[in-house]
Amino acid sequence: MSFHRSIHLVFTSVLFMSSLFFVLNKPVSAQTAQPLQPIINPQQVYTYATTTRDLKALAARYSDFIQLSSAGKSEYGRELWTADIGKGSAVILLLGSHHAREWITTINSMMLMEQMAQQYEQGASVFGGYRARDLLDRVTFRIVPMVNPDGVTLQQLGLSAFPAAVHPSLIQMNSGSSNFKRWKANGKGIDLNRSYPAGWSDIHNPGNAPYYMNYKGLQPLQAKEAKAMYDLTLSTKPEIAVAYHSSGEILYWNFKTKPQFFARDQAIANAYASLTSYQLVQPKPHPSGGGFTDWFITQFERPGLTPELGRSAGETNVPLSEWNRIWGQQRNTVWLLAKEGYALWMKRQAASPLHVDIRVTAGEFGYMYPDLKSRIVTKVEPGRYTASRLKGDWIEIQTIKGIVWISARSIIKGPFDVLEQSTIAIDANTIAYVSPLAALPSPIILTDQTATIVERWQGWLLIQTNSGTYWIREPKAAVPPTSVTPEATTVGAA
Ligand SMILES: [Zn+2]
Protein backbone atom coordinates (compact mmCIF):
# COMPACT_ATOMS: atom_id res chain seq x y z
CA MET A 1 0.00 0.00 0.00
CA SER A 2 2.58 2.53 1.08
CA PHE A 3 4.65 1.64 -1.98
CA HIS A 4 1.93 2.74 -4.37
CA ARG A 5 0.91 5.70 -2.29
CA SER A 6 4.44 7.08 -2.21
CA ILE A 7 4.90 6.79 -5.95
CA HIS A 8 1.53 8.34 -6.49
CA LEU A 9 2.44 11.28 -4.27
CA VAL A 10 5.66 12.12 -6.03
CA PHE A 11 4.44 11.70 -9.54
CA THR A 12 1.08 13.36 -9.17
CA SER A 13 2.86 16.43 -7.88
CA VAL A 14 5.18 16.35 -10.88
CA LEU A 15 2.27 15.90 -13.26
CA PHE A 16 0.33 18.64 -11.54
CA MET A 17 3.21 21.03 -12.05
CA SER A 18 3.48 20.14 -15.70
CA SER A 19 -0.23 20.66 -16.29
CA LEU A 20 0.11 24.18 -14.93
CA PHE A 21 3.04 24.87 -17.15
CA PHE A 22 1.47 27.10 -19.75
CA VAL A 23 -0.44 29.09 -17.19
CA LEU A 24 2.59 29.80 -15.09
CA ASN A 25 5.42 30.07 -17.51
CA LYS A 26 6.09 33.52 -18.88
CA PRO A 27 8.66 34.33 -21.53
CA VAL A 28 11.82 35.87 -20.17
CA SER A 29 11.81 39.58 -20.89
CA ALA A 30 14.21 42.40 -20.26
CA GLN A 31 12.07 43.74 -17.38
CA THR A 32 12.16 40.57 -15.30
CA ALA A 33 15.95 40.65 -15.30
CA GLN A 34 15.92 43.98 -13.39
CA PRO A 35 16.03 43.81 -9.59
CA LEU A 36 12.47 44.31 -8.39
CA GLN A 37 11.35 46.80 -5.76
CA PRO A 38 10.15 45.07 -2.57
CA ILE A 39 6.37 44.82 -2.32
CA ILE A 40 6.11 45.14 1.45
CA ASN A 41 6.87 48.28 3.41
CA PRO A 42 7.11 47.18 7.06
CA GLN A 43 7.33 50.74 8.43
CA GLN A 44 3.61 51.45 8.52
CA VAL A 45 0.44 50.69 10.45
CA TYR A 46 -0.15 47.51 8.52
CA THR A 47 -3.87 47.15 7.86
CA TYR A 48 -6.15 44.46 6.48
CA ALA A 49 -6.42 46.43 3.22
CA THR A 50 -2.63 46.65 2.92
CA THR A 51 -2.28 42.95 3.71
CA THR A 52 -4.82 42.09 1.02
CA ARG A 53 -3.15 44.29 -1.59
CA ASP A 54 0.37 43.03 -0.81
CA LEU A 55 -0.66 39.37 -0.79
CA LYS A 56 -2.20 39.76 -4.24
CA ALA A 57 0.94 41.50 -5.49
CA LEU A 58 3.19 38.75 -4.08
CA ALA A 59 1.03 35.99 -5.59
CA ALA A 60 1.13 37.77 -8.97
CA ARG A 61 4.87 38.42 -8.98
CA TYR A 62 5.85 34.95 -7.71
CA SER A 63 3.02 33.06 -9.36
CA ASP A 64 4.93 29.82 -9.79
CA PHE A 65 5.54 29.31 -6.08
CA ILE A 66 3.09 31.49 -4.11
CA GLN A 67 -0.61 30.58 -4.16
CA LEU A 68 -3.21 32.72 -2.43
CA SER A 69 -6.50 31.41 -1.06
CA SER A 70 -8.85 32.08 1.83
CA ALA A 71 -9.44 29.84 4.85
CA GLY A 72 -12.85 31.45 5.38
CA LYS A 73 -14.27 34.76 6.51
CA SER A 74 -14.15 36.67 9.77
CA GLU A 75 -17.27 37.52 11.77
CA TYR A 76 -17.54 40.77 9.75
CA GLY A 77 -16.84 39.10 6.41
CA ARG A 78 -13.13 39.83 5.96
CA GLU A 79 -11.08 37.14 4.22
CA LEU A 80 -8.78 34.93 6.26
CA TRP A 81 -6.06 35.06 3.61
CA THR A 82 -3.85 32.02 3.34
CA ALA A 83 -0.69 32.01 1.25
CA ASP A 84 1.24 28.88 0.32
CA ILE A 85 4.88 29.39 -0.57
CA GLY A 86 7.08 26.52 -1.68
CA LYS A 87 6.58 23.21 -3.47
CA GLY A 88 7.20 20.55 -0.87
CA SER A 89 5.02 17.96 0.82
CA ALA A 90 6.24 18.90 4.31
CA VAL A 91 4.15 21.85 5.49
CA ILE A 92 5.01 24.48 8.11
CA LEU A 93 2.06 26.57 9.32
CA LEU A 94 2.65 30.21 10.34
CA LEU A 95 -0.15 32.26 11.89
CA GLY A 96 -0.05 35.99 12.62
CA SER A 97 -2.34 38.33 14.57
CA HIS A 98 -4.56 36.03 16.58
CA HIS A 99 -4.64 39.04 18.89
CA ALA A 100 -5.72 42.39 17.49
CA ARG A 101 -3.11 44.68 19.02
CA GLU A 102 -0.32 42.27 18.00
CA TRP A 103 -0.43 43.14 14.28
CA ILE A 104 3.34 43.60 14.09
CA THR A 105 3.18 39.80 13.73
CA THR A 106 1.35 40.32 10.41
CA ILE A 107 4.25 42.46 9.21
CA ASN A 108 6.58 39.67 10.32
CA SER A 109 4.61 36.98 8.46
CA MET A 110 4.48 39.06 5.29
CA MET A 111 8.16 39.96 5.39
CA LEU A 112 9.18 36.34 5.95
CA MET A 113 7.14 35.43 2.88
CA GLU A 114 8.63 38.07 0.61
CA GLN A 115 12.14 37.30 1.79
CA MET A 116 11.67 33.59 1.04
CA ALA A 117 10.34 34.41 -2.42
CA GLN A 118 13.29 36.69 -3.18
CA GLN A 119 15.83 34.15 -1.95
CA TYR A 120 14.16 31.37 -3.92
CA GLU A 121 14.18 33.43 -7.09
CA GLN A 122 17.80 34.53 -6.60
CA GLY A 123 18.93 30.95 -5.91
CA ALA A 124 20.42 32.27 -2.69
CA SER A 125 22.30 30.36 -0.04
CA VAL A 126 20.55 30.80 3.29
CA PHE A 127 20.93 30.24 6.99
CA GLY A 128 22.20 26.78 7.88
CA GLY A 129 24.24 26.40 4.69
CA TYR A 130 21.29 25.38 2.51
CA ARG A 131 20.12 26.71 -0.82
CA ALA A 132 16.72 28.41 -0.58
CA ARG A 133 15.52 26.35 -3.55
CA ASP A 134 16.56 23.07 -2.00
CA LEU A 135 14.43 23.83 1.05
CA LEU A 136 11.42 25.43 -0.67
CA ASP A 137 11.25 22.63 -3.25
CA ARG A 138 10.85 20.25 -0.30
CA VAL A 139 8.82 22.34 2.14
CA THR A 140 5.69 24.47 1.81
CA PHE A 141 4.99 27.33 4.21
CA ARG A 142 1.27 27.87 4.70
CA ILE A 143 0.93 31.38 6.09
CA VAL A 144 -2.14 33.13 7.52
CA PRO A 145 -0.71 36.59 8.20
CA MET A 146 -3.86 37.98 9.85
CA VAL A 147 -6.06 35.48 11.69
CA ASN A 148 -8.12 38.28 13.29
CA PRO A 149 -8.70 41.00 10.66
CA ASP A 150 -11.77 42.46 12.43
CA GLY A 151 -9.92 42.93 15.71
CA VAL A 152 -6.84 44.37 13.97
CA THR A 153 -9.05 46.80 12.07
CA LEU A 154 -10.79 47.92 15.26
CA GLN A 155 -7.46 48.39 17.03
CA GLN A 156 -5.93 50.37 14.15
CA LEU A 157 -8.87 52.37 12.76
CA GLY A 158 -11.35 52.47 15.63
CA LEU A 159 -15.14 52.50 15.52
CA SER A 160 -15.38 54.25 12.15
CA ALA A 161 -14.53 50.97 10.40
CA PHE A 162 -17.61 49.28 11.91
CA PRO A 163 -21.36 49.74 11.40
CA ALA A 164 -22.86 52.39 13.69
CA ALA A 165 -25.31 49.85 15.08
CA VAL A 166 -22.52 47.93 16.84
CA HIS A 167 -20.64 50.95 18.25
CA PRO A 168 -22.41 50.86 21.65
CA SER A 169 -21.67 47.16 22.18
CA LEU A 170 -18.02 47.55 21.11
CA ILE A 171 -17.61 50.45 23.56
CA GLN A 172 -19.24 48.37 26.26
CA MET A 173 -16.83 45.45 25.61
CA ASN A 174 -14.04 48.00 25.90
CA SER A 175 -15.10 49.08 29.43
CA GLY A 176 -16.78 52.23 28.15
CA SER A 177 -13.76 53.56 26.27
CA SER A 178 -13.69 54.47 22.59
CA ASN A 179 -9.90 54.13 22.51
CA PHE A 180 -9.31 50.62 21.15
CA LYS A 181 -5.50 50.49 21.29
CA ARG A 182 -5.54 47.74 23.93
CA TRP A 183 -8.01 45.51 22.01
CA LYS A 184 -6.97 41.84 21.73
CA ALA A 185 -10.23 40.03 20.95
CA ASN A 186 -11.98 39.43 17.63
CA GLY A 187 -14.80 41.70 16.43
CA LYS A 188 -17.30 39.97 18.72
CA GLY A 189 -15.27 40.26 21.91
CA ILE A 190 -13.94 36.68 21.97
CA ASP A 191 -10.26 36.04 22.67
CA LEU A 192 -9.24 33.80 19.76
CA ASN A 193 -6.28 32.39 21.61
CA ARG A 194 -8.62 31.08 24.31
CA SER A 195 -10.91 29.43 21.80
CA TYR A 196 -9.25 26.14 20.95
CA PRO A 197 -10.28 22.76 22.41
CA ALA A 198 -7.26 22.03 24.62
CA GLY A 199 -7.68 22.46 28.37
CA TRP A 200 -10.48 24.88 27.45
CA SER A 201 -12.59 24.28 30.56
CA ASP A 202 -9.59 25.05 32.81
CA ILE A 203 -8.63 28.41 31.29
CA HIS A 204 -7.58 30.87 34.00
CA ASN A 205 -9.76 34.03 34.34
CA PRO A 206 -12.00 33.19 31.37
CA GLY A 207 -14.39 36.16 31.82
CA ASN A 208 -18.16 35.85 31.55
CA ALA A 209 -19.08 38.20 28.70
CA PRO A 210 -17.55 39.52 25.47
CA TYR A 211 -14.65 41.79 26.35
CA TYR A 212 -11.59 43.39 24.75
CA MET A 213 -9.46 40.52 26.08
CA ASN A 214 -9.58 37.08 27.72
CA TYR A 215 -13.23 36.11 27.14
CA LYS A 216 -13.19 32.50 25.93
CA GLY A 217 -16.77 32.31 24.61
CA LEU A 218 -19.52 29.84 25.47
CA GLN A 219 -17.80 26.88 23.86
CA PRO A 220 -14.54 26.14 22.02
CA LEU A 221 -14.39 27.32 18.39
CA GLN A 222 -17.40 29.61 18.81
CA ALA A 223 -15.52 32.35 16.92
CA LYS A 224 -15.52 31.90 13.14
CA GLU A 225 -11.82 32.78 12.91
CA ALA A 226 -10.81 30.07 15.41
CA LYS A 227 -13.01 27.48 13.70
CA ALA A 228 -11.45 28.36 10.34
CA MET A 229 -7.90 27.93 11.73
CA TYR A 230 -8.93 24.65 13.35
CA ASP A 231 -10.29 23.31 10.05
CA LEU A 232 -7.32 24.62 8.08
CA THR A 233 -4.87 22.96 10.46
CA LEU A 234 -6.69 19.63 10.44
CA SER A 235 -6.63 19.56 6.65
CA THR A 236 -3.02 20.78 6.45
CA LYS A 237 -1.46 18.45 9.05
CA PRO A 238 1.62 20.66 9.46
CA GLU A 239 4.94 19.29 10.67
CA ILE A 240 5.42 22.39 12.82
CA ALA A 241 3.03 25.24 13.65
CA VAL A 242 4.07 28.71 14.76
CA ALA A 243 1.55 31.23 16.13
CA TYR A 244 3.13 34.68 16.43
CA HIS A 245 2.18 36.95 19.30
CA SER A 246 3.60 40.04 21.00
CA SER A 247 5.36 41.02 23.20
CA GLY A 248 8.25 40.10 25.53
CA GLU A 249 10.85 38.20 23.44
CA ILE A 250 9.89 34.88 24.97
CA LEU A 251 8.97 31.52 23.45
CA TYR A 252 6.22 29.12 24.52
CA TRP A 253 6.78 25.63 23.19
CA ASN A 254 5.21 23.18 25.65
CA PHE A 255 1.64 22.28 26.56
CA LYS A 256 1.32 19.07 28.53
CA THR A 257 3.86 17.70 26.05
CA LYS A 258 4.20 13.95 26.39
CA PRO A 259 7.52 12.63 27.72
CA GLN A 260 8.35 10.87 24.46
CA PHE A 261 8.18 14.18 22.54
CA PHE A 262 9.68 16.44 25.18
CA ALA A 263 13.33 16.25 24.07
CA ARG A 264 12.45 16.60 20.38
CA ASP A 265 10.31 19.70 20.96
CA GLN A 266 12.71 21.22 23.45
CA ALA A 267 15.60 20.88 20.99
CA ILE A 268 13.66 22.74 18.29
CA ALA A 269 12.59 25.39 20.80
CA ASN A 270 16.18 25.79 21.96
CA ALA A 271 17.41 26.24 18.41
CA TYR A 272 14.71 28.86 17.76
CA ALA A 273 15.48 30.61 21.04
CA SER A 274 19.20 30.77 20.39
CA LEU A 275 18.58 32.19 16.91
CA THR A 276 16.24 34.91 18.22
CA SER A 277 17.73 35.43 21.71
CA TYR A 278 14.24 34.76 23.08
CA GLN A 279 13.81 33.27 26.53
CA LEU A 280 12.25 29.80 26.69
CA VAL A 281 9.14 29.69 28.89
CA GLN A 282 9.54 26.77 31.28
CA PRO A 283 6.61 24.34 31.52
CA LYS A 284 4.33 24.98 34.52
CA PRO A 285 2.32 22.34 36.42
CA HIS A 286 -1.15 23.79 35.60
CA PRO A 287 -0.93 25.75 32.35
CA SER A 288 -3.90 27.79 31.16
CA GLY A 289 -5.04 26.31 27.83
CA GLY A 290 -7.23 27.23 24.89
CA GLY A 291 -4.37 28.64 22.82
CA PHE A 292 -3.74 27.63 19.22
CA THR A 293 -0.43 25.90 19.87
CA ASP A 294 -1.83 24.31 23.06
CA TRP A 295 -4.35 22.61 20.82
CA PHE A 296 -1.87 21.89 18.01
CA ILE A 297 0.60 20.19 20.35
CA THR A 298 -2.20 18.12 21.90
CA GLN A 299 -3.90 17.22 18.63
CA PHE A 300 -0.88 16.37 16.48
CA GLU A 301 1.85 15.61 19.02
CA ARG A 302 4.13 17.76 16.86
CA PRO A 303 6.12 20.89 17.73
CA GLY A 304 4.09 24.08 18.20
CA LEU A 305 5.86 27.36 18.90
CA THR A 306 4.42 30.63 20.22
CA PRO A 307 7.04 33.38 20.00
CA GLU A 308 6.23 36.74 21.60
CA LEU A 309 7.75 39.35 19.29
CA GLY A 310 9.26 42.62 20.49
CA ARG A 311 10.31 43.93 23.87
CA SER A 312 7.45 44.39 26.34
CA ALA A 313 5.04 46.94 24.92
CA GLY A 314 2.35 46.83 27.62
CA GLU A 315 -1.36 46.91 26.78
CA THR A 316 -1.01 48.14 23.19
CA ASN A 317 0.61 47.35 19.85
CA VAL A 318 4.39 47.02 19.62
CA PRO A 319 5.63 50.34 18.16
CA LEU A 320 7.05 50.32 14.62
CA SER A 321 10.33 51.61 16.05
CA GLU A 322 10.81 48.05 17.33
CA TRP A 323 10.56 46.51 13.86
CA ASN A 324 14.23 46.46 12.84
CA ARG A 325 15.14 44.67 16.05
CA ILE A 326 12.36 42.11 15.50
CA TRP A 327 13.38 41.52 11.91
CA GLY A 328 17.00 40.93 12.86
CA GLN A 329 15.83 38.22 15.26
CA GLN A 330 13.19 36.68 13.00
CA ARG A 331 14.50 36.73 9.45
CA ASN A 332 16.42 33.45 9.54
CA THR A 333 13.91 31.49 11.60
CA VAL A 334 12.03 30.22 8.54
CA TRP A 335 15.09 28.34 7.34
CA LEU A 336 15.48 26.69 10.72
CA LEU A 337 11.78 25.75 10.62
CA ALA A 338 12.11 24.46 7.05
CA LYS A 339 15.07 22.27 7.95
CA GLU A 340 13.39 20.89 11.08
CA GLY A 341 9.98 20.41 9.47
CA TYR A 342 11.48 18.62 6.50
CA ALA A 343 13.48 16.33 8.78
CA LEU A 344 10.30 15.42 10.70
CA TRP A 345 8.48 14.67 7.46
CA MET A 346 11.34 12.60 6.01
CA LYS A 347 11.52 10.55 9.18
CA ARG A 348 8.06 9.17 8.43
CA GLN A 349 8.86 8.26 4.81
CA ALA A 350 9.82 4.66 4.20
CA ALA A 351 12.20 3.74 1.39
CA SER A 352 10.44 1.57 -1.18
CA PRO A 353 11.65 -0.19 -4.32
CA LEU A 354 10.83 1.58 -7.56
CA HIS A 355 11.91 0.16 -10.89
CA VAL A 356 10.85 2.75 -13.43
CA ASP A 357 12.24 4.48 -16.45
CA ILE A 358 12.71 8.18 -15.70
CA ARG A 359 14.17 11.29 -17.26
CA VAL A 360 16.10 13.78 -15.19
CA THR A 361 15.26 17.11 -16.81
CA ALA A 362 17.67 19.41 -14.95
CA GLY A 363 21.11 19.16 -13.44
CA GLU A 364 20.92 17.86 -9.88
CA PHE A 365 23.41 16.96 -7.21
CA GLY A 366 23.64 13.24 -6.51
CA TYR A 367 23.85 12.67 -2.76
CA MET A 368 25.14 9.62 -0.92
CA TYR A 369 21.94 9.47 1.17
CA PRO A 370 18.49 11.06 0.85
CA ASP A 371 19.71 13.91 3.04
CA LEU A 372 20.80 17.40 1.97
CA LYS A 373 23.63 17.29 4.50
CA SER A 374 25.08 14.03 3.19
CA ARG A 375 28.05 13.92 0.82
CA ILE A 376 27.53 15.05 -2.78
CA VAL A 377 28.90 12.17 -4.85
CA THR A 378 28.49 13.63 -8.31
CA LYS A 379 26.59 16.11 -10.44
CA VAL A 380 23.80 14.31 -12.27
CA GLU A 381 23.33 15.53 -15.83
CA PRO A 382 19.89 15.60 -17.48
CA GLY A 383 19.12 12.36 -19.31
CA ARG A 384 17.75 8.83 -19.06
CA TYR A 385 18.00 6.90 -15.82
CA THR A 386 16.37 4.00 -14.06
CA ALA A 387 15.07 4.72 -10.59
CA SER A 388 15.66 1.95 -8.07
CA ARG A 389 14.17 3.33 -4.85
CA LEU A 390 11.94 6.12 -3.61
CA LYS A 391 12.06 7.75 -0.19
CA GLY A 392 9.90 10.79 0.43
CA ASP A 393 10.76 13.22 -2.36
CA TRP A 394 14.11 11.57 -3.15
CA ILE A 395 14.86 9.03 -5.86
CA GLU A 396 17.76 6.62 -6.00
CA ILE A 397 19.38 6.20 -9.40
CA GLN A 398 22.37 4.48 -10.97
CA THR A 399 24.99 6.80 -12.48
CA ILE A 400 28.46 6.23 -13.87
CA LYS A 401 29.77 7.41 -10.48
CA GLY A 402 27.65 4.84 -8.65
CA ILE A 403 24.29 4.81 -6.92
CA VAL A 404 23.15 8.23 -5.71
CA TRP A 405 20.03 9.93 -4.39
CA ILE A 406 18.58 12.96 -6.16
CA SER A 407 15.59 15.23 -5.68
CA ALA A 408 12.43 14.09 -7.46
CA ARG A 409 11.63 17.70 -8.39
CA SER A 410 13.06 17.59 -11.93
CA ILE A 411 12.09 14.00 -12.74
CA ILE A 412 9.46 12.82 -15.18
CA LYS A 413 8.25 9.25 -15.36
CA GLY A 414 7.29 7.22 -18.44
CA PRO A 415 5.77 5.97 -20.58
CA PHE A 416 7.98 7.58 -23.20
CA ASP A 417 6.73 6.96 -26.75
CA VAL A 418 8.93 6.50 -29.78
CA LEU A 419 7.31 8.16 -32.80
CA GLU A 420 7.15 7.00 -36.41
CA GLN A 421 7.98 10.52 -37.44
CA SER A 422 11.66 10.90 -36.70
CA THR A 423 12.30 14.55 -37.56
CA ILE A 424 10.55 17.87 -37.15
CA ALA A 425 11.04 21.28 -38.76
CA ILE A 426 12.04 24.01 -36.30
CA ASP A 427 11.46 27.67 -37.06
CA ALA A 428 11.22 30.98 -35.21
CA ASN A 429 7.75 30.06 -33.91
CA THR A 430 9.05 27.04 -32.02
CA ILE A 431 9.62 27.65 -28.33
CA ALA A 432 11.97 25.14 -26.77
CA TYR A 433 12.50 24.36 -23.09
CA VAL A 434 15.23 22.71 -21.11
CA SER A 435 12.51 20.92 -19.13
CA PRO A 436 8.76 20.40 -19.56
CA LEU A 437 8.24 20.99 -15.83
CA ALA A 438 6.89 24.26 -14.51
CA ALA A 439 9.64 24.24 -11.90
CA LEU A 440 12.21 24.90 -14.58
CA PRO A 441 10.88 27.46 -17.06
CA SER A 442 13.47 28.28 -19.66
CA PRO A 443 12.01 29.26 -23.04
CA ILE A 444 14.56 29.26 -25.82
CA ILE A 445 14.25 30.28 -29.47
CA LEU A 446 16.11 27.94 -31.83
CA THR A 447 17.48 28.68 -35.29
CA ASP A 448 15.68 27.23 -38.34
CA GLN A 449 16.66 23.59 -38.74
CA THR A 450 15.39 20.05 -38.92
CA ALA A 451 15.61 18.41 -35.50
CA THR A 452 15.52 14.72 -34.61
CA ILE A 453 12.63 13.58 -32.40
CA VAL A 454 14.00 11.46 -29.58
CA GLU A 455 10.74 10.62 -27.80
CA ARG A 456 7.36 11.89 -26.68
CA TRP A 457 6.07 12.43 -23.15
CA GLN A 458 2.57 13.69 -22.37
CA GLY A 459 2.19 16.17 -25.19
CA TRP A 460 5.86 17.10 -25.24
CA LEU A 461 8.57 16.08 -27.68
CA LEU A 462 12.20 15.70 -26.73
CA ILE A 463 14.23 16.83 -29.73
CA GLN A 464 17.88 16.68 -30.65
CA THR A 465 18.94 19.99 -32.23
CA ASN A 466 22.27 21.29 -33.43
CA SER A 467 22.60 23.12 -30.09
CA GLY A 468 21.56 20.33 -27.71
CA THR A 469 18.41 18.48 -26.61
CA TYR A 470 15.25 20.40 -25.76
CA TRP A 471 11.57 19.84 -25.08
CA ILE A 472 8.92 21.39 -27.31
CA ARG A 473 5.13 21.24 -27.25
CA GLU A 474 3.93 18.54 -29.63
CA PRO A 475 2.37 20.16 -32.71
CA LYS A 476 -1.35 19.33 -33.10
CA ALA A 477 -0.88 17.36 -36.34
CA ALA A 478 1.93 15.15 -35.08
CA VAL A 479 2.09 11.61 -36.40
CA PRO A 480 0.82 9.00 -33.90
CA PRO A 481 3.30 6.69 -32.17
CA THR A 482 4.04 3.29 -33.69
CA SER A 483 2.34 1.57 -30.77
CA VAL A 484 -1.08 3.12 -31.48
CA THR A 485 -3.38 1.25 -33.87
CA PRO A 486 -5.28 3.04 -36.69
CA GLU A 487 -8.61 2.30 -34.91
CA ALA A 488 -7.43 3.98 -31.75
CA THR A 489 -6.28 6.98 -33.77
CA THR A 490 -9.73 7.32 -35.33
CA VAL A 491 -11.40 7.23 -31.93
CA GLY A 492 -8.96 9.79 -30.58
CA ALA A 493 -9.53 12.13 -33.51
CA ALA A 494 -13.35 11.92 -33.39
ZN1 LIG B 1 -1.22 37.36 21.86
Concatenated DSSP letters of 235-281: HH--SEEEE-EESSSEEE--SS--HHHHHHHHHHHHHHHHHHTPEEP
* Residues in a beta bridge with 362: none
Q: What is the ipTM of this complex?
A: 1.00
- pLDDT at residue number 472: 93
- pLDDT at residue number 480: 55
Estimate to the nearest angstrom the gap between the alpha carbon of 443 and the chain centroid: 26
Q: What distance in Å separates the CA atoms of residue 387 and residue 111, rounded to the nearest whole number?
A: 39
Q: Are strands 90-95 and 139-144 parallel, antiparallel or unpaired?
A: parallel
Question: b/e per residue, 95-134, with b = 16+ CB within 10 A?
Answer: bbbbbbbbbbbbbbbbbbbbbbbbbbbeeeebbbebbbbb
Q: What distance in Å separates the CA atoms of residue 360 and residue 351, rounded to the nearest whole number?
A: 20
Report how far ligand 1's centroid is from the alpha carbon of 397 (Å): 49
Whether 79 sits among the annotated catalytic residues: the reply is no
Report how far ligand 1's centroid is from the alpha carbon of 246 (Å): 6
Q: Residue 30: enclosing H or E segment and its boundaries?
A: helix 30-33
Q: Residue 336: enclosing H or E segment and its boundaries?
A: helix 333-347
Q: Which of 308, 340, 364, 396 is catalytic?
A: 308
Q: What distance in Å separates the CA atoms of residue 465 and residue 292, rounded to the nearest whole number?
A: 57
Report how far ligand 1's centroid is from the alpha carbon of 98 (Å): 6
Report how far ligand 1's centroid is from the alpha carbon of 347 (Å): 32
Report how far ligand 1's centroid is from the alpha carbon of 160 (Å): 24
Domains identified in the chain and CATH numbers: 35-159+161-345 (3.40.630.10), 350-413 (2.30.30.40), 423-493 (2.30.30)
- pLDDT at residue number 290: 98
Q: What distance in Å separates the CA atoms of residue 219 and residue 229, rounded to the nearest whole number?
A: 16
**pLDDT below 70 — which residues of the chain?**
1-34, 438-441, 477-494
Report how far ligand 1's centroid is from the alpha carbon of 187 (Å): 15
Three-state secondary-structure class, residue 149: helix
Report how far ligand 1's centroid is from the alpha carbon of 473 (Å): 52
Q: What distance in Å separates the CA atoms of residue 308 and residue 105, rounded to the nearest whole number?
A: 9
- pLDDT at residue number 4: 39
- pLDDT at residue number 45: 98
- pLDDT at residue number 124: 96
Q: Residue 86: enclosing H or E segment and its boundaries?
A: strand 79-86
Tell me how many degrees the CA angle 190-48-120 measures, rounded to the nearest 5: 115
Nearest CA to 292 out of 438, 192, 425, 202 is that of 192
CB 148 within 8 A of CB 97: yes
Q: Which residues contact 128 (CB under 8 A, 6 or more apart)?
A: 335, 336, 339
